[in-house]
Amino acid sequence: MSHQQGLRFELAPTVEQAALMGRHCGLSRVVENFCLETVQKKKAQQEAEKTYAVPEDQLTKVPWSAPALEKEWRAAHPERYPWFAEGKLSSRVPKEACRVRAAGLKNYFDSRSGKRKGVRLGWPKWRKRKQGSRFRYDADRARPLDARTVRLPAIGNVTSREDMSWLTGRMATGQARILGATVREQAGRWWISFQIEVDREEINNRRQADPDAPACGIDLGLKTFAVIKRADGTVEEIHAPKPLRAAQRALLRANRKLARSKEDSKNWAKARKRVAQLHMRVADRRRDFLHKTTTRLTRTKSAIAVETLNVKGMVKNRRLARALSDAGFAEFVHQLDYKAGWYGSRIWKADRWFPSSKTCGNCGRINRALVLADRTWVCPGCGVLHDRDHNAAGNLLDAMLTQDT
């Protein structure tokens, strides 16, 4: 069975290759902004024509689709952007930039009409240089030639700092194919992310969770990242590294130095790079912790009960927003979800309003008076002393097992 997933590798380009990749990032940004400008102008013109009672079939057509946007770009770039042809840049980058912009417009309308689930999206915004440098190739235009070399159209063969044999070996046997690739610059380092379709059957079978493995309930929290209660009654606590909290002093100093530097000076560029490096280190530490934890849990548990948290609503509390964002609860549950499908485990999500913390695990009475500051509490009904997090994990496990019977 084929799965879609992403793989990211760090690149080691030469100075000339890095400069070319930077130009392609600029090209992608220009094309995306051109597409948005074209749509907005033609949409405004169409609205004006409607006020003059212009017949429907004579109204200005708005290029909503990727092919229509690409047609507009091909017609406009010889005069507006002559440097595109002169610079020998890849024609695949504008094509993908048009597709990305068209997808953003579609998501906006689908979100407004209710076809798209999740947070309601706003109208697409202009892309700015400070928002990150990236560009994309379609299909397998960008592909690994061997375990240490990537072929990028119009740029050349770029060395990879990481071994890609996992991907190249499966491509050679037909188990994997590349659907697209995104090149991105972060803190002065270059990365390529391959979106691939891969047959994971052999990998998943080899790493399947034991059917007789214990089930568990997981309560997520800020003090203790995860309290895991197994069906045999044992409890495990997992503490997160809290990378953003650990980096606060360094970030404070780096941001202060950046603010005091003259914009566009050499010291300003160095300070800006330092801030980016610190943020990348924070993200890398968090990502590493979440991947290792979720992989271990889904490969050693037959069933996992978790909460359904309203993270978007929780971060509105300014006292908790930073700590909640640092924890990465939403990403943790997301990773559990798809990895459980890989390794044969099962995820059960409690209802958002399920009172896991307030319910007595002994008699089932709900303590309505319990507040967030109460880390332990005594049940008014049976008098049992509960640790808040341990009790919640046990209640989640019991609710899952009860529903299964």
According to DSSP, the residues that pair with 238 across neighbouring strands are: 226
Task: Kindly indicate the confidence band of residue 205, based on its pLDDT and cuts at 50, 70 and 90.
Answer: confident
In the chain, where the domains are located: 2-201, 215-241+299-404
208 CB-near residues (< 8 Å, 6+ apart): 299, 343, 344
DSSP state of 359: B
Interval 369-397: pLDDT, tens = 888 888 888 888 788 888 888 999 999 99
Arithmetic mean of pLDDT, 13-37: 95
What pLDDT shows up at residue 1?
Answer: 65
Arithmetic mean of pLDDT, 137-146: 93
What pLDDT shows up at residue 85?
Answer: 87
> Closest by alpha carbon to 219, among 229, 204, 210?
229
pLDDT > 70: percent of the chain: 100
Distance separating alpha carbons of residues 8 and 193, to the nearest angstrom: 4
Q: Which two tokens stand for residue 76?
A: 């406009």
What pLDDT shows up at residue 231?
Answer: 86
Task: Kindly indicate the confidence band of residue 353, based on its pLDDT and cuts at 50, 70 and 90.
Answer: confident
Arithmetic mean of pLDDT, 249-270: 94
What pLDDT shows up at residue 109?
Answer: 94
Alpha helix (H) ranges present in 177-265?
201-206, 243-246, 248-260
Rg, C-alpha atoms of the chain: 26
Please say if the pLDDT value at position 79 is more than 70: yes
Interval 165-182: pLDDT, tens = 999 999 999 999 999 999
Phi/psi-derived region of residue 73, left when phi > 0, alpha when psi is between -120 and 50, beta in every other case: alpha
Q: Which two tokens stand for residue 370?
A: 């319990």
Interval 84-125: pLDDT, tens = 988 889 999 999 999 999 999 999 999 999 898 878 899 999
C-beta neighbour count of 55 within 10 angstroms: 7
Please say if the pLDDT value at position 68 is more than 90: yes
**Burial classification of residue 286, based on how many CB atoms lie within 10 Å of its CB (0-12 exposed, 13-18 middle, 19 or more buried):** buried
Q: Which two tokens stand for residue 359?
A: 């319910």
Task: Kindly indicate the confidence band of residue 158, based on its pLDDT and cuts at 50, 70 and 90.
Answer: very high
What pLDDT shows up at residue 238?
Answer: 94
Q: Which two tokens stand for residue 286?
A: 């968090």
Q: What is the mean pLDDT of the chain?
A: 91
Evaluate whether 138 touches 96 at the Cβ level (below 8 Å): yes
Arithmetic mean of pLDDT, 18-33: 95
Task: Kindly indicate the confidence band of residue 405, based on its pLDDT and cuts at 50, 70 and 90.
Answer: low
DSSP state of 366: B
Distance separating alpha carbons of residues 8 and 83, to the nearest angstrom: 31
Interval 304-327: pLDDT, tens = 999 988 888 888 888 889 999 999
Task: Kindly indicate the confidence band of residue 49, based on its pLDDT and cuts at 50, 70 and 90.
Answer: confident
Evaluate whether 322 touches 316 at the Cβ level (below 8 Å): no
Instruction: Kindly write down the DSSP assignment for every residue of 135-160, as one continuous string.
Output: EEEETTSSEEEETTEEEETTTEEEEE
Arithmetic mean of pLDDT, 172-199: 94
Distances in whole angstroms, Cα of residue 348 to Cα of each of 212, 218, 233, 296, 329: 17, 10, 19, 17, 16
263: Cα within 13 Å, side-chain hemisphere:
0
Which residues in 200-321 belong to E strands, given as ranges? Answer: 215-220, 226-230, 235-238, 303-306
Evaluate whether 134 touches 184 at the Cβ level (below 8 Å): yes
Which positions are annotated as active-site residues? 219, 307, 389
